[in-house]
Amino acid sequence: MSSHSLGSSQVNYHTFDLSISLQMGRVHRICRDAVTAAVEPLGLTQSRWTALVHIDYLSEGVTQLELAQSLGIEMPSLTRTLKQLEEQALIIRKTGEEDKRSKHIYFTEKGRALLDQLQVLLIDIKEKLYGSLSHQQMQLMASGLVEIEANARKLINDLTPINESTQSKV
């Protein structure tokens, strides 16, 4: 195996170029697929378990728009997933008191119980995924990812005015 291979344990980050982002995406998809396979017996698909986890992370009462933004998906896709979660009696959606156009999302008792089961499973899955890494490796990786995310957000913000002003001239 060459030293430039993504599978090599001696990979030098200088050889990655932009492929480190591709590798992060690939690892994310594989890990997400592993979780999906593990939670399937709970009756959850990838879109459903990720929605439940994000609702919990953002706190009950989150709006559909906030949840869609957190998940990085379009509203029609989220609406379909939320309808399925409602059909499973895991969540309820309530119209906002101040803004009648907004829908707020809450767990049902059944949904909260399932979320508790899901969280126990996720702890086990994380141990299996990350267990071979040292605390130092996890800290370095976590801080590196936070830094890369911040850099990407800054780049997007820096480029957005340029793109908007360029497009307005077209």
pLDDT of residue 168: 45
pLDDT of residue 123: 95
Task: Provide DSSP, 49-90.
Answer: HHHHHHHHHH-TT-BHHHHHHHHT--HHHHHHHHHHHHHTTS
pTM, entire model = 0.75
CB 47 within 8 A of CB 77: yes
Residue 7's pLDDT band (boundaries 50, 70, 90)? very low
Amino acid 61 reads: G
Strands 103-107 and 91-95: antiparallel
- In whole angstroms, give the CA distance from residue 23 to residue 86: 35
CB 51 within 8 A of CB 78: yes
Ranking 6-20, 32-46, 146-160 by mean pLDDT, the lowest is 6-20
- In whole angstroms, give the CA distance from residue 93 to residue 64: 9
Amino acid 98 reads: E
pLDDT in tens, 15-44: 556 678 888 999 999 999 999 999 999 999
pLDDT in tens, 38-88: 999 999 999 999 999 999 999 999 999 999 999 999 999 999 999 999 999
The residue written with tokens 């059944």 in the block is 110
**Cβ neighbours of 26 (radius 10 Å):** 12
Q: At 5, is the secondary structure helix, strand, or coil?
A: coil
Beta bridge partners of 107: 91
pLDDT of residue 97: 85
